[in-house]
Structure 1
């Protein structure tokens, strides 16, 4: 029988698995299941339990299409509305002082994903940095990022920004309970990738999150995603119509319809918008004037966001993954032209001049990826650096197999070195054709910088802070180098470009 380890939290005792090197607790509830009358409501506190709660195995992922909860080539995690849980990983050896905490928020376009992926366990990161790694689930898609509050009633109100509220609730759990795991609640770093990176920036702009974390890392953030209250209302009405309901019957339909029926109706509506309005993403936090007073990128620009040290960056070839597998981004000339329609008559000509070879496919894919991730991230770098230490990077490394596949350093590949996946079966397969030494080197770069930042609020001394004067950017590659204002002509071409609004 595997060794176990019990920890007493504010809600009760949780039993995890104690390994020779790391100990793990899985699927600890941080909020009450949002079922029945709690559907579309802000997270509620957990009901305390007596006895010992088993936390040795994952339970459910948040509601989503089955494919999004894939955990292996032929394995899928069950999905459920009851999925507000988190996981804790830490070194088994004792520590003389409380350990720093790194809280990971997974990506997936706010529609898919799960903290149960083996990659996200954080065991290698925890061991290398003598740290505690927390990962969490939060409500997705229909149940987390569509604002149905218009259809609430006095008896059954609905709340906005549910996924964001879940993330705050998870951070509140960390604040209350992480000391019991030997960690320091006053040294918490949040980090995320893609939509998870956008969540990090959203938390910077969320008053309820103030004081719950002390440093932030945003990897490939689509930083200017946000819906106005009016846009969110229009989109929610379209989702209700897709469910087969009217404004008069929406309240009952949303409370009583099957979870998968609601999910499918919302997914269809989202996919329609992605086809019809390239560059717009409707499943994201809503500027409701209350829980999220300002769009995250605006709050950062205005200096009203939480002023903590920030690492932010993108990969060199963000768009190739989407162009090949996920038709969501403006990675063709026609789609990019549509995305730029509201940014001035000369926007497309400026972009075309900045991307050599445009409109050839490779240049269009690069431009579409930069439009979504790099362009708004540069705005965050500029804006946040005026108020708090900010560190910029670009991830350029790709093993030979990714070059052969014409993906390069594409979206999400920076997760492999962050979590130390070089020695996993996937990491070894990916580098079988070459690049293993490089992947190990960039893993050292990522982990040493991330962990040093988590401990002190600054990465290694070789990585200077970003300023608008020098724009120092760490190019993580084999070998890694420092550049000042990389791709300046492209940066200037994107100035003034904004994401489109819902029509």
Structure 2
């Protein structure tokens, strides 16, 4: 299998993440009855639960209806309620395959969850997270991204939304449907923006500071964060950002989005002039049709051949529509609208082992260097020899499988991350900080003796500080990806402290971690996050020079 086949990325990710992250909701995490806590919002009073030092509110509506005549449009206004509304269970996720232990997916999915140390008048930093799953699956209720530990251990407020995904969130109708559907190709992004506005208007009641909001996200959530960073409508509601393993340098151009819409209408046998028939198609049928069309990965390759891009990409994701998203997030440069907003960006060292695990790909572990070159020839042609030679010289102790993972991982998530860091540094505004997550899990890819290392998505539970010993003193359970070694607890604490300090001050820092210099184009410092963290200057210098020579960076 092509190691960096980006067209299949979301298809693989969709299947895998649904299996990995099993969300939990209800009362306390230990099964004990939790105390209730109430808070006022602009729309009515809410009842949440207080457990183990954290107040938790789940399933809060942040905007109105998006079904019926609101499909593909901005939401209806949120209606106030009388009395006290329960906020004890998560709301339904966006239309997708059913998610274990969550309500049935629904069109009307605009709900969010809040974790806070206390509903007092403290002005804590707010960490507004966008979930992964590309642009087609996921929710703000996954267990690995439970915000309790961050709120409890680092005195921050965590917010996560459900928002429209896939066809219902990103179908581009602007050219055929009229002014009521302006921005239709970015409804999923506008939902997230509505969540940010709700935070601005209400989070003070939850102990948060509406003037100190960090947006962050992993994989597809990183790409969503990249878009928010460039969106005028989102700009007033956050002041810093973190893009993690999802460098959204470029998004879908209008003409490609229009072609995707034409493919959909043809599949449904609907003439463009009769597009309103889309409003009557059951959501479950739209989901079936969505599965027949291409996926949009949370990155797009540097577009050197528009015709190739047309063939390879389509599907449903944010659209560069000159209105909601005026231009590509980081192409040709960092967005001027966020000039003064600090940024974190980076990736995991062994991203590709996730996909090897998901695809049950064990063949790469048997590669020798001759076989490695042959495996890289389909995507790289005659450049494959140069790639292998460069990586062997830069990493003389690495095996052929190691180099395969390194090449696949950096091309998936690393080159875009470096591109963003370079462009933000060149902009000369607020600082940008580049990182690699490198804690090595000892868990093996099934059917092999090859360790997972630092796979895609492993960072989620670490940065949320959910890799911690049980609070009841019982023996720790094995982490899904992180393994059994107790050293993972230190790595998780470092990761979480760096991110929460950045949320608080705009500069990442942590106890027992070296000072993290802002990225610059001379020394190019990168923080490697692990049990022991270190700053590495000019990391991957030879490899990146080679990728630049090939026009990949």
Which residue is equivalent to 1:393? 435
Query: How is 1:348-363 mapped onto 2 (pairs within 5 angstroms)?
Result: 348=384, 350-356=386-392, 363=403
* Alignment CA distance shift 1:391-1:158 (3 Å): closer
User: How do 1:34-73 residues align onto structure 2 when only pairs under 5 Å count?
Assistant: 34-66=66-98, 69-70=99-100
1:61-210 to 2 correspondences below 5 Å: 61-66=93-98, 69-70=99-100, 75-92=101-118, 97-153=122-178, 159-210=184-235
Q: Which residue of 372, 376, 383 maps to 2:423?
A: 383
Post-superposition Cα deviations, 1:283-330, rounded to whole Å, max 9, x if no partner, equal 3211001111100011643645453111111000111212332599xx
Matches within 5 A, 1:181-260: 181-252=206-277, 254-260=278-284
Figure out how many residues of one structure are paired with residues of the other and give that number: 485
**Mapped pair 1:453 → 2:453:** no
Report the CA distance between 1:347 and its aligned residue.
5.6
What is the aligned counterpart of 2:453 among 403, 408, 426?
Answer: 408
Question: Structure 1 residue 52: deviation in Å?
Answer: 1.5
Q: Secondary structure at the match of 1:41?
A: coil
Q: 1:311 is matched with which residue?
A: 344
Q: Where do 5+ consecutive residues of structure 2 fail to align?
A: 1-32, 301-307, 365-371
Counterparts in 2 of 1:337 and 1:185: CA distance versus 1, 3 Å = farther
2:347 aligned counterpart, secondary structure: strand
Within the alignment, does 1:322 sit opposite 2:375 as a pair? no
Going from structure 1 to structure 2, the CA distance change for 1:33 and 1:432 (only over 3 Å counts) comes to closer
Instruction: Work out which of the residue numbers 485, 496, 509 in structure 2 matches 1:436.
Output: 485
Are the structure 2 counterparts of residues 327 and 296 from structure 1 closer, same or farther at C-alpha, using a change threshold of 3 Å?
farther
Query: Can you give the 5+ residue segments of structure 1 that lack an aligned partner in the other structure?
Result: none
- 1:8 counterpart SS class: strand
Contact (CA 8 Å) 2:441, 2:452: kept in 1 or not?
Answer: no
Q: Contact 2:373/2:385 (CA < 8 Å) preserved in 1? A: no
Q: How many angstroms apart in 2 are the aligned matches of 1:424 and 1:249? A: 58
Task: Tell me the distance in 1 between the aligned counterparts of 2:442 and 2:312.
Answer: 31
Distance 2:482 2:66 in 1: 47
- Superposed displacement of residue 138, structure 1: 1.1
CA distance in 1 between counterparts of 2:523 and 2:327 reads 29
Alpha-carbon shift at residue 242 of structure 1 (Å): 2.6
Alignment partner of 1:65: what SS? Answer: coil
Distance 1:85 1:116 in 2: 10
2:140 partner SS: coil
CA positional deviation for 1:154: 6.6
| 1:2 CA displacement | 4.0
Aligned in 2, Cα 1:281/1:409: closer, same or farther, shift over 3 Å?
A: farther
Aligned-partner SS, 1:473:
strand
Q: Does 1:24 align with 2:64?
A: no
Distance in 1, Cα, partners of 2:184 & 2:500? 36
Separation in 2 of the partners of 1:145 and 1:326? Answer: 27
Give the conservation status (yes or no) of the 8 Å contact 1:442–1:477.
yes
Distance 2:292 2:283 in 1: 14
CA distance in 1, matches of 2:481, 2:185: 47
**Counterpart-to-counterpart distance in 1, 2:324 and 2:399:** 42
Aligned residue for 1:134, secondary structure, equals strand
2: CA distance between counterparts of 1:241 and 1:498? 36
- Return the alpha-carbon distance in structure 1 between the equivalents of residues 489 and 357 of structure 2: 27
Distance in 2, matches of 1:492 and 1:241, equals: 45
> Deviation string for 1:108-167 (max 9, x for gaps)?
011110111122221001111111111111111111123233342578777220111111
CA deviations 1:235-269 (Å, max 9, x no partner) are 121122233433243331x1000101111111211
1:195-217 per-position Cα deviation (integer Å, ceiling 9, x unaligned): 10111111110011112111111
Q: Which residue in 2 is equivalent to 1:264?
A: 288
C-alpha distance in structure 1 between counterparts of 2:232 and 2:437, whole Å: 31
Q: CA RMSD in A?
A: 3.3
| SS in structure 1 of the partner of residue 237 of structure 2 | coil
What residue is the counterpart of 2:520 in the other structure? 467
**Alignment TM-score, normalising by the size of structure 1:** 0.87
Q: Deviations over 1:32-71 (max 9, x none)?
A: 12010000002343111222211111121111123xx34x
Would the aligned equivalents of 1:313 and 1:394 in 2 still touch at CA under 8 Å?
Answer: yes
- Counterpart Cα distance in 1 of 2:253 and 2:259: 10
| 1:271 to partner: Cα distance | 5.3
Question: Which shows bigger deviation, 102-111 or 430-439?
Answer: 430-439
Distance 1:158 1:251 in 2: 16
CA distance in 2, matches of 1:380, 1:479: 26
Aligned 8 A contact 1:243 1:262 in 2: no
Q: Look up the SS of the partner of 2:249 in the other structure.
A: coil
Q: Is the 8 Å Cα contact of residues 92 and 102 (structure 2) preserved in structure 1?
A: no
Contact map agreement 1:396 1:476 (CA 8 A) in 2:
yes
From 464, 470, 484, the equivalent of 1:419 is 464
1:283 to 302, 306, 316: 316
Q: Give the 3-state SS of the residue equivalent to 1:236 in structure 2.
A: helix
**Whole-angstrom distance in 2 between the partners of 1:476 and 1:414:** 10
Cα distance, 1:361 vs. partner? 5.7
- Tell me which moved more, 474-483 or 226-235: 474-483
